[in-house]
Structure 1
Amino acid sequence: MSARTSGRRRPYRNDKRAEAAAATRATILDTALRLFVRDGYAQVTIGDIAREAGTAVPTVYARTGGKSAILTVLMNRGVDDPVVERTLEEVRSATDARTAINAMAHGVRLDNERHLDIVQVMITAAAVEHTVEEELHQVAAAYRQALGVLAERLAELDALRPGLSQERATDMLWFLFGLPSWRLFVAEHGWSWDETEHWLAQQAAAALVAEPESS
C-alpha cells in the first residue's frame, strides 16, 4: 500500500474515531443525567456512571472531565437550546403586548419542559457543591436577561403599566416565568404544562400591561 493511499484513508479513520468518541460522550452524559435524577447528584460516583454507561472510569474523565463538568454540559443544554433564540426573535417582532407575552410564555415553557430533569438536578447539586452553585447563578442570570427582552419590548410598545420600570417588570417576569414557578406547578403540584403556561401568561398580562384607556 502506498503512502499516498494510506494518506487518503486516514481522514476516514479519524472521522470514525471522532464519531465513536462523540457517541461515547453522549452515552456518558445521558447515563449521568438518568443517575443524577434517580439517585441524587451527591450519591452518584464516576464509577457508577462508567458502569452504567458500559465504559471505563478513565474514559468518563477523558470524555467529560468529571461530575461537575458533566453537570455543566447538561445545564448548558437548556441555555443553548435553539428555542431560546427563536423565542426572543418572536418577542422582539411582536406588534402587541399579548402576543409578546404569549410568545415568551410558550418559549420558556418549552425550554423548561425539555430540561426539567436537569433543572431539578442543578438545584439539588448546588446545595452540596459550590462550583455547581456558581453555575446555577450564571444560568439564572442568563435566564433573567432573556426575560428582560420581553420587558424591553413591552416598554417599546408603550404597554407597561404607568410607573412600572423595565427593571421592575423583569423582576416580576422572573417571579412568574422563572425556574421556580414551573417546578412548583408542574413537578410539585401536578399541573399540566398547558395549564401552567396559560395561567402564567394571564398573570403576566394582568400584572404588567397597562389597561386600555376608557373613551
Structure 2
Amino acid sequence: MATREAILRHALDLFLERGYGATTVSDIARAAQVATPTVYASAGGKAALFALLLKPAINDPAAAEAAAEARRAEDPRHVLALCAKGARLGQERYWDLVYGLMRRPPEDDLALEAVTEVVAKCREALTAIAEHLMDLGALKTGVGLTEAADTLWFYFGQNAWCSLVGDSGWTFDRAEEWLLRAAIRDLLPET
C-alpha cells in the first residue's frame, strides 16, 4: 500500500507541476523510485492514476452529509447556507484536485470519465437541493427546477470557486459569503 500511495502522491505532484500531458508514467515511476511496470501493476496507467486521484472527491462523505443536511432544512435561506458551506468544504478540501487537475481536464477518455463523474455527482446533489427548495415553495416566481439547479451549479460548482479563489485570489470565506448572497438574490423572493 505504501508503494501505491507514493505513486499517487508523486503522480499528483507531477500533474500539478508539469501538467497531465507532459507527465509520463516513467516520470512518475522515477519520482516514486519504482520501476515503470510497478506503476502499472499497482495503480494502472496515467489515466487510471488521474481517476484514482479524483476518487476521494467523488466519494467524500462530508460533502454528502452537508447536502443531506441542506435537504432536511426547512428555512430556504438556511438550505442555501448549508449548500454554500458544503460546496466550499468540498472545494477547499480538494483544492489541488479541483483547481489543479479538473480545471483543465486531460483529453483522455478514462481521465475525462473521472471528471465527468465528479461533475455529475455535484450536479446531482445540487439538483436535489433545487428540488427541495421547489418542494418548500421557496423559489422566486418563474424559477423552475432546471433553472434553480443550473443556478446552484453556477454559484456553487467548481468554476465559481476556481474563478473567485484561484484566479481572483479571494479567500474561501469571502467567496462563500458572496456566492451565498448571489444565490439567495437569484433564487429566493425578496423578504
Common fold: TM-score over 0.5: yes
- 1:99 Cα deviation (Å)? 0.9
Any conservation in 2 of the 1:41–1:124 contact (CA below 8 Å)? no
What is the rounded CA distance, in whole Å, between the counterparts of 1:204 and 1:23 in structure 2? 43
The answer to whether the 8 Å contact 2:139/2:189 transfers is yes
User: How many equivalent residue pairs?
Assistant: 190
Asked whether the 8 Å contact 2:105–2:115 carries over to 1, the reply is no
Of the three residues 175, 181, 186, the one matched with 1:202 is 181
Q: Is 1:122 aligned with 2:102?
A: yes
In structure 2, runs of 5+ residues without a counterpart are none
- Once the 2 structures are TM-superposed, how far is the Cα of residue 179 of structure 1 from its aligned partner? 1.1
Partner of 1:8: none
Aligned 1:50-199 pairs, distance under 5 A: 50-119=29-98, 120-126=100-106, 128-199=107-178
TM-score by length of 2: 0.93
Aligned partner letter, 1:77? P
Aligned residue number for residue 17 of structure 1: none
Match status 1:42 vs 2:21: yes
Q: What one-letter code is carried by the residue in structure 2 that aligns with 1:52?
A: A
Q: CA deviation at 1:175?
A: 0.9
Give the CA deviation at 1:143.
Answer: 1.2
RMSD: 1.4
Identity of paired residues, percent? 39
Taking the aligned partners of 2:166 and 2:8, their CA distance within structure 1 comes to: 23
* Partner deviation per Cα, 1:153-193 (whole Å, 9 max, x = no partner): 11122111112111110011111111111000111110000
Q: SS at the partner of 1:211?
A: coil
Judge conservation of contact 1:71–1:122 (CA < 8 Å) in 2.
no
Q: Distance in 2 between matches of 1:186 and 1:174?
A: 16
Deviations 1:24-74 (CA, angstroms, capped at 9, x unpaired): 111111111111101111111111111111222111111111110011111
1:76-118 per-residue CA deviation (whole Å, 9 max, x = no partner) reads 2211111221112211111201111111111111111121221
The amino acid of 1:123's aligned partner reads R
Aligned residue identity for 1:31: H
Q: Describe the superposition over 1:122-173 as per-residue Cα deviations: whole angstroms up to 9, x where unpaired.
A: 33243x3243234323321221111112111111221111121111100111
Indicate the larger mover: 79-88 or 182-191: 79-88
What does 1:2-41 align with in structure 2 at a 5 Å threshold? Answer: 22-41=1-20
Opposite residue 170 of structure 1, the aligned amino acid is A
SS at match of 1:150: helix
Matches of 1:161 and 1:174 in 2, distance apart?
17
Aligned to 2:97, the other structure's residue is in SS state helix
User: What residue identity is the alignment partner of 1:95?
Assistant: E
Secondary structure of 1:144's aligned partner: helix
Per residue, is there more helix in 1 or in 2? 1
CA distance in 1, matches of 2:136, 2:189: 11
* Letter matched to residue 3 of structure 2: T
SS in 1 for 2:21: helix
Q: Is the contact between residue 177 and residue 200 of structure 1 (CA under 8 Å) also seen in structure 2?
A: yes
